[in-house]
Amino acid sequence: GAGVSQSPSNKVTEKGKDVELRCDPISGHTALYWYRQRLGQGLEFLIYFQGNSAPDKSGLPSDRFSAERTGESVSTLTIQRTQQEDSAVYLCASSLQPGNQPQHFGDGTRLSIL
Amino acid sequence: GESVGLHLPTLSVQEGDNSIINCAYSNSASDYFIWYKQESGKGPQFIIDIRSNMDKRQGQRVTVLLNKTVKHLSLQIAATQPGDSAVYFCAENMDGGFKTIFGAGTRLFVKA
């Protein structure tokens, strides 16, 4: 498709399990972002990738969170030893270039930790 | 599906009226501003943007106003339609950087 694709769309898992979320950005977009959105809240920046540069991980809330991106393609966000407060929608966005450009969002992965 | 914006400020308008959604941004060094629309169960969708060297920009049925003196941004929607019902977020970028800071959001409810 032409837009940002995220999978799975919904994920329910038990506390303590690891989860992996996937993002396919728009082809040709060099910048990729991950955000967390708790229910009724705004978007919380997690991590940013730009081409082959080192990612900015300054928004990751703990060392249980990590993310990878291969070149300018797919990215995965991994949460280890999940906790109930990790329950949220995880949104991925991409933009053609970094900086002052609108971001194109996927529809997110709704993560529920039991 | 999951509902966005259960506890957000809400603006309720009659179909056909104009809507004004306001946003106070945080950083005087921000130089790029964006409005996004988020429907329930969907990701945010770009509506309109404005750079700090402008104070007004118009799109189709939407206008963004920027007042740098008081760090205020507004989104005006003309002839509001039921399909405009959503949560609206303002966002700011600083110094041409990548990091976008999102506001808390306002829920727009359009009464038919």
Mark the ranges of chain A whose per-residue pLDDT is less than 50.
Answer: none
Tell me the β-bridge partners of B93.
Answer: B32, B100
Residue of A nearest to B89 (CA): A42
The pLDDT profile of chain B, 112 residues, written as one tens digit per residue, is: 333 444 678 999 999 999 999 999 988 889 999 999 999 999 999 999 999 999 999 999 999 999 999 999 999 999 999 999 999 999 998 766 777 889 889 999 999 8
Domain boundaries, chain A: 5-113
CB contact under 8 A, B96 and A99: yes
CB contact under 8 A, B98 and A45: no
Of A40, A89, A107, the CB nearest to B7: A40
Residue of B nearest to A59 (CA): B99
Q: What string of H, E and C letters represents the secondary structure of A16-45?
A: CCCEEEEEECCCCCCEEEEEEECCCCCCEE
Domain boundaries, chain B: 10-106
Q: What is the pLDDT of residue A1?
A: 53
A75 Cβ contact partners less than 8 Å away, ≥ 6 residues apart: A22, A23, A25, A32, A34, A49, A67, A68, A69, A92
Q: What is the pLDDT of residue B7?
A: 61
Sign of the alpha-carbon dihedral angle for B49, B53, B59, B64: positive
Of A33, A41, A38, the C-alpha closest to A94 is A33
- Tell me which CATH code domain B10-106 carries: 2.60.40.10
Residues A26, B62: Cα–Cα separation, whole Å:
26
Phi, psi values for residue A75, rounded to 5°: -125, 145
Q: Which two tokens stand for residue B5?
A: 């914006």
Domain A5-113, what fold?
A: Immunoglobulin-like (2.60.40)
Q: What is the pLDDT of residue B4?
A: 42
Q: What is the pLDDT of residue B3?
A: 38
Q: What is the pLDDT of residue A3?
A: 94
Phi, psi values for residue A57, rounded to 5°: -100, 15
Residue of A nearest to B99 (CA): A99
Q: What is the pLDDT of residue A70?
A: 85
Q: What is the pLDDT of residue B26?
A: 84
Q: What is the pLDDT of residue B98?
A: 75
Q: What is the pLDDT of residue A92?
A: 97
Residues A5, A109: Cα–Cα separation, whole Å:
10
Chain B residues within 8 angstroms (CB to CB) of chain A: 2-8, 31-32, 34, 36, 41-46, 49, 51, 89, 93, 96-105
